[in-house]
Amino acid sequence: MKLSKRITVALVVVLFTHVAKAQTTATSSQEKVLPLPGDVFLVEKCTAFVISPDKKTSDGPTPWVWYAPTLPGLPGTEERWMFERFRKAGIAIAGIDVGESYGSPDGCKLFTAFHREMTEQRGFAPKPVLLGRSRGGLMTLAWAVENADKVGGFAGVYPVCNIASYPGVAQASGAFHLKPEELTAQLEKHNPIDRLTDVAKAKVPLFAIHGDVDTIVPLEANSGELKKRYQALGGEMELIVPAGQGHNMWDGFFQCQELVDFVITHAKSM
C-alpha cells in the first residue's frame, strides 16, 4: 500500500513537472510585446517573432526584413512607422532574441537556426534584408559576413559595425568565451568590419543612417569606416549623415524614407 502511494506521488510529481515546463515554454513564447500585431514563437528556446504583411503581393516565398536586436522592449514603438510601410509593401518583419551576443559565434549559430526556421519551415524568402539598430548592427553584420549568399541587403540605424568601438573588447569578450586579451588577439577573426570580402563579392547592398555627433557608437569608427572599407572592396553603400544628431530617438532615424525605400527594393528583388 505504501509502495503504491509512493508510486502515485512520484507520477504526480513527474506530471506536474512536465506540465509546468510546458506552461513555462508556452508562456515564454508569448511574452514578447510588439509594436504591431504579430506571432511569437520559440526557436532553440529563444523568443522569436514575425509580423506578417498586410497581404501577399506575389506568388512564392514572402519577402522579409530581419530586425535586430530583438531584446526585451525591442523592436519598440519607434519602429512602428517603418514597419507599417514594410507591411503595406508586402514585406514581413521578423527577429529572434539571442541576448547580448555582440556578434559572437553562439549568437550567429542561433541566427542560422532562425533563418532555417523562417525559410524552410515558414515559407519566407531565402534572402532577407537585415535591419540593425545600434548593437543590432553588430549581430546582423557578424552573421552576414559568414552567410553572404543568404543576405539580400543590410540597413542600419546608427549601427555598431566594430567591436573595438562598441561595446569594446573588455565587455564583448565574455560572449565569445574569451579573455579580453584573447579577443584582442583574434579580433580580425570576429570583427565584422574586418571580414567584408565575401559580402562585397556577393554584391550585397548596404545602407545606414548615422548621426555625426554620436558619442556612443561614433560615426567614424562604425558606419563611416564600414563605407570606406566596403567601397574599397568594390561594394556599394549609401550613408546618410544627419548633422547634429547623436545616438538618440530623433524621428528622422526611424522615419527615414530612404531606408524604407532601400529595404522594400532589395527585399522584393530576392
What pTM does this model have? Answer: 0.88
| pLDDT band at 74; cut points 50, 70, 90 | very high
**What's the count of helices (H) and strands (E) in the chain, helices before strands?**
11, 8
- 164 burial (CB, 10 Å; 0-12 / 13-18 / 19+) is middle
| pLDDT band at 269; cut points 50, 70, 90 | confident
Percent of the chain with pLDDT over 90: 86
Region 252-260: mean pLDDT is 99
Question: Distances in Å between the alpha carbon of 201 and those of 111, 145, 233?
Answer: 22, 11, 8
Q: Please report the pLDDT score of residue 8 as a whole number.
A: 39
Where exactly are the structural domains of the chain? 1-30, 33-268
The residues, ordered by sequence, that sit 6+ positions from 35 with a Cβ below 8 Å of its Cβ are: 75, 76, 77, 79, 80, 83
pLDDT in tens, 134-181: 999 999 999 999 999 999 999 999 999 999 999 999 999 999 999 999
| pLDDT band at 216; cut points 50, 70, 90 | very high
45 by DSSP, 3-state: which? coil
- CATH number for the domain running over 33-268: 3.40.50.1820
Residue 27 has pLDDT above 80, yes or no: no
The answer to whether 163 touches 191, Cβ cutoff 8 Å, is: yes
